[in-house]
Structure 1
Amino acid sequence: MQVIESMYVVALRDYPEELPAKERIGAETRYAKALEKQLGGPEQVAAALDTMYSLEESQPEVVSPGDLTLLKAWGKASAAAKQAGFRDLGEAEGAYFEVRLV
Protein backbone atom coordinates (compact mmCIF):
# COMPACT_ATOMS: atom_id res chain seq x y z
CA MET A 1 0.00 0.00 0.00
CA GLN A 2 1.33 3.41 -0.98
CA VAL A 3 0.94 6.21 1.54
CA ILE A 4 0.99 9.76 0.25
CA GLU A 5 1.75 12.41 2.84
CA SER A 6 0.37 15.82 2.14
CA MET A 7 0.20 19.13 3.93
CA TYR A 8 -3.07 20.02 2.26
CA VAL A 9 -6.09 18.30 0.75
CA VAL A 10 -8.14 19.01 -2.36
CA ALA A 11 -11.81 18.04 -2.55
CA LEU A 12 -14.21 18.45 -5.47
CA ARG A 13 -17.40 19.98 -4.07
CA ASP A 14 -20.95 20.44 -5.38
CA TYR A 15 -20.46 18.49 -8.59
CA PRO A 16 -24.01 18.17 -9.97
CA GLU A 17 -23.92 14.43 -10.51
CA GLU A 18 -22.46 11.40 -8.77
CA LEU A 19 -18.92 10.74 -9.98
CA PRO A 20 -17.16 7.41 -9.77
CA ALA A 21 -14.37 7.64 -7.16
CA LYS A 22 -11.71 7.13 -9.84
CA GLU A 23 -12.89 10.20 -11.79
CA ARG A 24 -13.26 12.36 -8.68
CA ILE A 25 -9.80 11.40 -7.39
CA GLY A 26 -8.34 11.97 -10.85
CA ALA A 27 -9.80 15.48 -10.99
CA GLU A 28 -8.58 16.31 -7.47
CA THR A 29 -5.11 14.97 -8.29
CA ARG A 30 -4.88 17.01 -11.52
CA TYR A 31 -5.92 20.09 -9.55
CA ALA A 32 -3.28 19.51 -6.87
CA LYS A 33 -0.52 18.81 -9.40
CA ALA A 34 -1.34 21.99 -11.33
CA LEU A 35 -1.27 24.05 -8.13
CA GLU A 36 2.10 22.57 -7.20
CA LYS A 37 3.50 23.17 -10.67
CA GLN A 38 2.41 26.82 -10.60
CA LEU A 39 3.54 27.54 -7.03
CA GLY A 40 6.68 25.39 -6.84
CA GLY A 41 5.70 22.28 -4.88
CA PRO A 42 3.52 21.02 -2.02
CA GLU A 43 5.38 23.04 0.63
CA GLN A 44 4.75 26.25 -1.32
CA VAL A 45 1.06 25.39 -1.74
CA ALA A 46 0.75 24.84 2.02
CA ALA A 47 2.66 28.05 2.77
CA ALA A 48 0.47 30.01 0.35
CA LEU A 49 -2.67 28.58 1.95
CA ASP A 50 -1.40 29.51 5.40
CA THR A 51 -0.72 33.07 4.22
CA MET A 52 -4.13 33.27 2.54
CA TYR A 53 -5.83 32.22 5.80
CA SER A 54 -3.95 34.88 7.74
CA LEU A 55 -4.78 37.53 5.12
CA GLU A 56 -8.48 36.78 5.55
CA GLU A 57 -8.09 37.85 9.19
CA SER A 58 -6.00 40.96 8.42
CA GLN A 59 -7.07 44.52 7.85
CA PRO A 60 -6.60 45.61 4.20
CA GLU A 61 -4.00 48.22 5.16
CA VAL A 62 -1.82 45.48 6.71
CA VAL A 63 -1.34 43.60 3.41
CA SER A 64 2.29 43.80 2.30
CA PRO A 65 3.57 44.00 -1.28
CA GLY A 66 4.79 40.41 -0.87
CA ASP A 67 1.30 39.34 0.16
CA LEU A 68 -0.16 41.04 -2.92
CA THR A 69 2.32 39.16 -5.09
CA LEU A 70 1.27 35.92 -3.42
CA LEU A 71 -2.42 36.73 -3.98
CA LYS A 72 -1.76 37.25 -7.68
CA ALA A 73 0.26 34.03 -7.90
CA TRP A 74 -2.50 32.13 -6.08
CA GLY A 75 -5.13 33.49 -8.46
CA LYS A 76 -3.12 32.43 -11.49
CA ALA A 77 -2.32 29.02 -9.99
CA SER A 78 -5.90 28.31 -8.95
CA ALA A 79 -7.22 29.25 -12.41
CA ALA A 80 -4.74 26.85 -14.05
CA ALA A 81 -5.57 24.17 -11.47
CA LYS A 82 -9.31 24.56 -12.03
CA GLN A 83 -8.83 24.14 -15.76
CA ALA A 84 -6.72 21.02 -15.18
CA GLY A 85 -9.12 19.58 -12.62
CA PHE A 86 -12.19 19.93 -14.81
CA ARG A 87 -10.35 18.89 -17.99
CA ASP A 88 -11.91 15.45 -18.31
CA LEU A 89 -15.16 16.34 -16.54
CA GLY A 90 -16.28 19.50 -18.24
CA GLU A 91 -17.35 22.58 -16.31
CA ALA A 92 -20.20 22.04 -13.90
CA GLU A 93 -22.35 24.88 -12.62
CA GLY A 94 -21.56 25.52 -8.96
CA ALA A 95 -18.82 22.89 -8.69
CA TYR A 96 -15.51 23.94 -7.17
CA PHE A 97 -12.33 22.56 -5.66
CA GLU A 98 -11.83 23.14 -1.96
CA VAL A 99 -8.21 23.32 -0.81
CA ARG A 100 -7.38 23.27 2.89
CA LEU A 101 -4.48 22.58 5.19
CA VAL A 102 -4.41 19.29 7.09
Structure 2
Amino acid sequence: MYTVTLQDYPQIPDDLRQQAERRYARALEKSLGGSEALALAYKAWNWAEESFGDLSEEEKTLALRWQRAALKAAQEGFSSLGQVDSAYFEVRLDR
Protein backbone atom coordinates (compact mmCIF):
# COMPACT_ATOMS: atom_id res chain seq x y z
CA MET A 1 0.00 0.00 0.00
CA TYR A 2 0.91 3.65 -0.24
CA THR A 3 -0.18 7.08 0.89
CA VAL A 4 -0.62 10.21 -1.23
CA THR A 5 -0.55 13.66 0.33
CA LEU A 6 -0.91 17.05 -1.28
CA GLN A 7 1.94 19.26 -0.12
CA ASP A 8 2.40 23.03 -0.05
CA TYR A 9 -1.04 23.92 -1.35
CA PRO A 10 -2.11 27.05 0.55
CA GLN A 11 -5.33 27.14 2.57
CA ILE A 12 -7.35 24.29 1.14
CA PRO A 13 -10.29 22.69 2.95
CA ASP A 14 -9.67 19.09 4.04
CA ASP A 15 -12.41 17.65 1.82
CA LEU A 16 -10.97 19.27 -1.32
CA ARG A 17 -7.45 18.11 -0.37
CA GLN A 18 -8.66 14.54 0.10
CA GLN A 19 -10.53 14.58 -3.21
CA ALA A 20 -7.41 15.80 -5.02
CA GLU A 21 -5.30 13.11 -3.34
CA ARG A 22 -7.80 10.40 -4.38
CA ARG A 23 -7.86 11.67 -7.98
CA TYR A 24 -4.06 11.58 -8.07
CA ALA A 25 -3.92 8.04 -6.62
CA ARG A 26 -6.60 6.73 -9.00
CA ALA A 27 -4.82 8.21 -12.01
CA LEU A 28 -1.50 6.68 -10.92
CA GLU A 29 -3.03 3.24 -10.45
CA LYS A 30 -4.85 3.45 -13.75
CA SER A 31 -1.68 4.43 -15.62
CA LEU A 32 0.54 1.89 -13.90
CA GLY A 33 -1.85 -1.04 -13.55
CA GLY A 34 -2.62 -1.21 -9.84
CA SER A 35 -0.93 -0.67 -6.49
CA GLU A 36 1.73 -3.40 -6.86
CA ALA A 37 2.87 -2.08 -10.23
CA LEU A 38 2.77 1.42 -8.77
CA ALA A 39 5.13 0.38 -5.97
CA LEU A 40 7.59 -1.23 -8.40
CA ALA A 41 7.61 1.80 -10.69
CA TYR A 42 7.99 4.20 -7.75
CA LYS A 43 10.94 2.23 -6.37
CA ALA A 44 12.61 2.21 -9.80
CA TRP A 45 12.11 5.95 -10.18
CA ASN A 46 13.44 6.56 -6.68
CA TRP A 47 16.45 4.38 -7.43
CA ALA A 48 17.02 6.27 -10.69
CA GLU A 49 16.98 9.57 -8.81
CA GLU A 50 19.58 8.33 -6.33
CA SER A 51 21.81 6.18 -8.53
CA PHE A 52 22.57 8.66 -11.31
CA GLY A 53 21.51 6.28 -14.05
CA ASP A 54 23.09 2.96 -13.02
CA LEU A 55 19.95 0.98 -13.84
CA SER A 56 18.95 -2.10 -15.75
CA GLU A 57 16.79 -1.64 -18.84
CA GLU A 58 13.76 -2.89 -16.90
CA GLU A 59 14.40 -0.37 -14.11
CA LYS A 60 14.81 2.44 -16.66
CA THR A 61 11.52 1.48 -18.28
CA LEU A 62 9.74 1.38 -14.92
CA ALA A 63 11.23 4.72 -13.87
CA LEU A 64 10.09 6.35 -17.11
CA ARG A 65 6.61 4.85 -16.68
CA TRP A 66 6.47 6.35 -13.19
CA GLN A 67 7.54 9.75 -14.44
CA ARG A 68 4.89 9.83 -17.18
CA ALA A 69 2.18 8.47 -14.86
CA ALA A 70 3.02 10.96 -12.11
CA LEU A 71 2.78 13.91 -14.50
CA LYS A 72 -0.56 12.71 -15.80
CA ALA A 73 -1.79 12.04 -12.25
CA ALA A 74 -0.76 15.53 -11.13
CA GLN A 75 -2.84 17.04 -13.92
CA GLU A 76 -5.79 14.96 -12.75
CA GLY A 77 -5.18 15.73 -9.08
CA PHE A 78 -5.02 19.48 -9.66
CA SER A 79 -7.86 19.46 -12.21
CA SER A 80 -10.48 21.16 -10.03
CA LEU A 81 -8.06 23.08 -7.82
CA GLY A 82 -5.75 24.89 -10.16
CA GLN A 83 -2.05 24.28 -9.91
CA VAL A 84 0.15 26.26 -7.54
CA ASP A 85 3.85 26.37 -8.43
CA SER A 86 5.00 25.15 -5.04
CA ALA A 87 2.33 22.44 -4.63
CA TYR A 88 3.00 18.78 -5.34
CA PHE A 89 1.75 15.32 -4.51
CA GLU A 90 3.95 13.18 -2.30
CA VAL A 91 3.78 9.38 -2.47
CA ARG A 92 4.98 7.24 0.41
CA LEU A 93 5.08 3.50 0.25
CA ASP A 94 3.91 1.75 3.39
CA ARG A 95 6.56 -0.57 4.72
Q: Normalising to structure 1: TM-score of the pair?
A: 0.83
% identical equivalent positions: 47
How many pairs align? 94
5+ residue gaps in structure 2?
Answer: none
Written as runs of structure 1 = structure 2, the 5 A alignment for 1:28-67 is: 28-58=21-51, 60=53, 62-67=54-59
Higher relative contact order (CA 8 A, sep 6+): 1
CA RMSD of aligned residues (A): 1.4
Larger Rg: 1
Cα distance between partner residues in 2 of 1:78 and 1:59: 20
Cα distance between partner residues in 2 of 1:56 and 1:67: 12
5+ residue gaps in structure 1?
Answer: 1-6
| Counterpart contact for 1:31–1:85, Cα < 8 Å | yes
Indicate which of 9, 12, 20 corresponds to 2:3: 9
Q: Normalising to structure 2: TM-score of the pair?
A: 0.89
| Match in the other structure for 2:72 | 80
